[in-house]
């Protein structure tokens, strides 16, 4: 290992879904079971280069004697070795829903500064589908160890810009729309251009409520975008990147084009 191996092991929620009566490789004693797991309210977990990220994993547990709580929670890339990950379990709270059922929330924390040292290989390979494992305990001593009770995605954060030149033009003339798509690199904790990616150019006419896609442009070897459009009316232009399985969706701030 190049440094710190983080275990998600204390309580806290994550991001995505998967409802299951039992997880794979489940074992234990008694009738206690995990009946539902929701990560980060069903959304992806997006990680950049500096901001600490916290997200919840909500685990619904059922036992005829009542639920005591969580004794272990971990999460890591689904294709990696068990326990190898950079997410810490930093808190737990349980809410009793009935005499037999409780929802326990595990709070998970990611500190980007720790990511480069978590593995001997490229840390960026950790982006993608992650799994949740948990051990739960009942008031009567029953316990259940479940692997893969939820699957969700941890993605590298993206950045995207839009620039119009000139910012005022007459109808029928052409203007140039440029921009740059970058994504977080978890090795050096900087943003680098995301190359050869399709990005949609969108336009919203002045007074309109929504943007519509005009064309799709592919980023160059540095992540840069450039295209020309013919001016038909005043409005706002922006780039939209739909994301990939390992990189987040991103919508650039619109740049306004006025008429002369």
- What is the spatial distance between Cα 132 and Cα 50, in angstroms, rounded to a whole number? 24
Q: Which helix (H) or strand (E) holds 138?
A: strand 128-138
**pLDDT tens, residue by residue, 159-202:** 999 999 999 999 999 999 999 999 999 999 999 999 999 999 99
Cβ neighbours around 197 below 10 Å, total? 20
Smallest CA-to-CA distance from 227 within 217, 219, 242, 212 is with: 217
CB 132 within 8 A of CB 57: yes
Taking a C-beta distance cutoff of 8 angstroms, is the pair 248, 157 a contact? yes
**What residues does each domain of the chain span?**
16-156, 158-259
Nearest to 83 by CA among 121, 143, 131, 29: 131
Q: What token pair was written down for 246?
A: 């390992």
Half-sphere exposure of 1 (CA within 13 A, CB side): 13
| Nearest-angstrom CA–CA distance, 254 and 74 | 40
Q: Which of 35-44, 83-92, 204-213, 214-223 has the lowest mean pLDDT?
A: 83-92
Per cent of the chain over pLDDT 90 is 85
204-216 confidence digits (pLDDT tens): 999 999 999 999 9
Architecture of domain 158-259: Sandwich (2.60)
Report whether 177 contacts 226 (CB < 8 A).
yes
Q: What's the CATH fold of domain 16-156?
A: Coagulation Factor XIII; Chain A, domain 1 (2.70.50)
Q: Where do we find the tokens 């941890």?
A: 154
3-state helix, strand, coil in the chain (%, to 5): 5, 55, 40
Tell me, rounded to whole angstroms, the distance of Cα 51 from its chain centroid.
13
Tokens 């006419």 sit on residue: 205
Q: How many other β-carbons are positioned within 10 Å of the β-carbon of residue 245?
A: 10
Res 121: pLDDT: 83
Is the pTM here over 0.85, yes or no? yes
**Model pLDDT, residue 186:** 97
**What per-residue confidence (pLDDT) applies to 184?**
98
The Cα–Cα gap between 231 and 142 comes to 69
Confidence at 82, pLDDT banded by 50, 70, 90: low
């Amino acid at each position: 290992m190049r440094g710190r191996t983080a275990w998600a092991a204390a309580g806290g929620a994550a991001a995505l879904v998967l409802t299951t009566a039992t997880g794979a490789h489940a074992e234990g004693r008694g009738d206690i079971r995990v009946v539902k797991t929701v990560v980060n309210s069903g959304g992806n977990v997006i990680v950049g280069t500096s901001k600490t990220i916290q997200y919840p994993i909500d685990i619904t547990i059922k036992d005829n004697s009542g639920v005591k709580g969580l004794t272990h929670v971990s999460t890591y890339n689904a294709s990696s070795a068990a326990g190898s990950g950079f997410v810490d379990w930093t808190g737990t709270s349980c809410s009793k829903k009935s005499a037999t059922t409780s929802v326990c929330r595990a709070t998970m924390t990611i500190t980007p500064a720790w990511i480069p040292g978590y593995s001997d290989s490229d840390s960026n390979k950790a982006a993608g589908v992650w799994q949740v494992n948990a051990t739960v305990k009942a008031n009567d001593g029953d316990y259940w160890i479940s692997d893969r009770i939820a699957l969700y995605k941890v993605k590298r954060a993206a950045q995207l810009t839009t620039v119009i030149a000139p910012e005022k033009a007459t109808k029928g003339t052409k203007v140039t729309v440029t921009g740059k798509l970058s994504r977080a690199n978890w090795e050096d904790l900087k943003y680098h251009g995301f190359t050869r990616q399709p990005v949609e150019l969108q336009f919203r006419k002045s007074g309109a409520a929504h943007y519509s896609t005009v064309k799709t442009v592919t980023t160059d070897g540095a992540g840069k975008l450039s295209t020309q459009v013919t001016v038909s009316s005043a409005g706002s232009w922006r780039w939209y990147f739909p994301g990939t399985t390992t990189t987040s969706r991103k919508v650039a701030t619109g740049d306004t084009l006025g008429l002369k």
